[in-house]
């Protein structure tokens, strides 16, 4: 039997005139939002407005309330998750952290295009997937190195709500199903089906399985995580919680990585990170009933998890304790969760737009992380003690 000669992937074809026309409303909306300082991007129009002072004031008040209640105190007994030591190679060519993050963030932006990437097309039409009933939404991008990134959309879809508001309901239901049950939502299985479709389309254009990667933020990262577990594709998920399908080793040796921010509750909707128990099932070092799939890279300020840990200890002790837990969880969600916060800590220039005024950048900027490939990220995080076992 002869082995077929390797093929060179075909660069994506230009968008058809109809596809360009369909993308036009998104470009107009983004220009307006940037001019009002509601969103910001590298190379975008600079707004005469500045909402940052209002954002800083809101979170300063929130922090003062946390301090007054004592939620920012250092917990006396807080488990430390076990770290991983990466010993693999660092030469594998993959998209960079910045390319993954910008592709994930683009799913919140109507008509958004990640900086330097091009839509993956079939006959001039971008390859996308939308299921309003299950909440699954994704688009595919090609890097300058001819590698494919499948990016799944996070909850509510950002400015996409202007044209597709109903999908937000399905996405919220999907979130709640994973958190409160031990089942797998239809949106997750739709995400796998789309990835398989992309693999088939890509194969016809000369791409192999090793050329295809997955990413997403929040719910999108959840779906990317599940797709990686079910298909073996590599990638990076941002602020993704744990999933209900558990496999041996939880993908610690896989090519999928979860980048999580200290203090973001989404990261702690899991059993392999301590912070939201007893609201979530019991913490189990490197495991449990809702672990992440793939190694975990922690970024930001480690002290930021203290309020979550302290507030969760009040959960289940009456309506006041539950209220404090709920308010603090929501406050920390908006403070740490949005892609702009990860862009800050990962030394990434956001492109396309992100919301710059909702959230509070804190913790170290990991200089140069944005330019790292997956294996280089694993090595850097391992060296810095930031690589956590799922």
Determine the Cα–Cα distance for residues 322 and 338; give it in Å rounded to an integer: 24
Binning pLDDT at 50, 70 and 90, where does residue 5 land?
Answer: very low
The pLDDT assigned to 11 comes to 74
**What's the predicted TM-score (pTM) here?**
0.92
Q: Tens of pLDDT along 326-354?
A: 999 999 999 999 999 999 999 999 888 77
* Mean of pLDDT values over 373-390: 97
In degrees to the nearest 10, what's the CA dihedral of 25, 149, 273, 291?
A: 110
Q: Which of 139, 193, 127, 137 is nearest to 170 (CA)?
A: 137
* Mean of pLDDT values over 142-164: 91
- Where exactly are the structural domains of the chain? 52-388
The pLDDT assigned to 192 comes to 98
Greater pLDDT, 39 or 195: 195
Output the six-digit token pair for 5: 């000669």
Q: Tens of pLDDT along 25-73?
A: 777 777 777 776 667 666 666 667 777 788 788 888 999 999 999 999 9
* Cα dihedral sign, 341-344-347-352: positive
Determine the Cα–Cα distance for residues 12 and 113; give it in Å rounded to an integer: 14
- The set of residues, in sequence order, having a beta carbon less than 8 Å from that of 238 and lying 6+ positions away, is 100, 101, 104, 215, 216, 217, 218, 221, 258, 259, 339, 342
**CATH assignment, 52-388:** 3.40.50
* Cα dihedral sign, 341-97-110-194: negative
């Amino acid at each position: 039997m002869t082995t077929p000669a390797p093929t060179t992937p075909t660069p994506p074809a230009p968008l058809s005139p109809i596809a360009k026309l369909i993308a036009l409303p998104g470009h107009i909306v983004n220009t307006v939002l940037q001019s009002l300082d509601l969103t910001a991007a590298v190379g975008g129009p600079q707004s005469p407005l500045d909402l940052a002072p209002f954002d800083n004031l809101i979170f300063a008040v929130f922090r003062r309330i946390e301090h007054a209640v004592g939620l920012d105190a250092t917990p006396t007994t807080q488990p430390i998750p076990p770290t991983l030591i990466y010993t693999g190679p660092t030469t594998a060519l993959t998209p960079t952290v910045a390319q993954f993050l910008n592709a994930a963030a683009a799913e919140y932006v109507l008509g958004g295009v990640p900086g330097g990437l091009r839509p993956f097309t079939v006959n001039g039409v971008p390859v996308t997937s939308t299921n309003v009933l299950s909440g699954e939404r994704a688009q595919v991008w090609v890097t300058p190195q001819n590698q494919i990134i499948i990016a799944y959309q996070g909850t509510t879809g950002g400015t996409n709500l202007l044209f597709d508001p109903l999908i937000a309901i399905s996405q919220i239901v999907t979130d709640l199903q994973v958190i409160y049950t031990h089942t797998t939502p239809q949106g997750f299985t739709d995400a796998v089906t789309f990835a398989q479709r992309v693999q088939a389309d890509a194969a016809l254009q000369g791409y192999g399985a090793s050329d295809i990667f997955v990413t997403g933020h929040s719910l999108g990262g959840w779906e990317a995580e599940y797709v990686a577990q079910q298909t073996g594709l590599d990638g990076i998920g941002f602020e993704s919680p744990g999933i209900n399908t558990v496999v041996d080793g939880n993908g610690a040796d896989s090519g999928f990585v979860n980048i999580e921010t200290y203090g973001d509750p989404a990261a702690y909707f899991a059993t392999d990170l301590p912070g939201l128990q007893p609201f979530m099932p019991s913490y189990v070092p490197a495991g449990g009933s809702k672990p992440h799939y793939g190694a975990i890279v922690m970024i930001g300020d480690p002290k930021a998890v203290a309020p979550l840990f302290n507030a969760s200890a009040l959960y289940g002790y009456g309506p006041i304790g539950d209220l404090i837990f709920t308010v603090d969880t929501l406050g920390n969600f908006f403070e740490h969760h949005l892609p702009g916060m990860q862009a800050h800590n990962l030394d990434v220039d956001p492109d396309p737009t992100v919301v710059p005024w909702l959230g509070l950048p804190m913790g170290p900027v990991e200089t140069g992380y944005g330019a790292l490939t997956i294996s280089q990220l694993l090595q850097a995080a391992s060296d810095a003690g930031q690589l956590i076992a799922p």
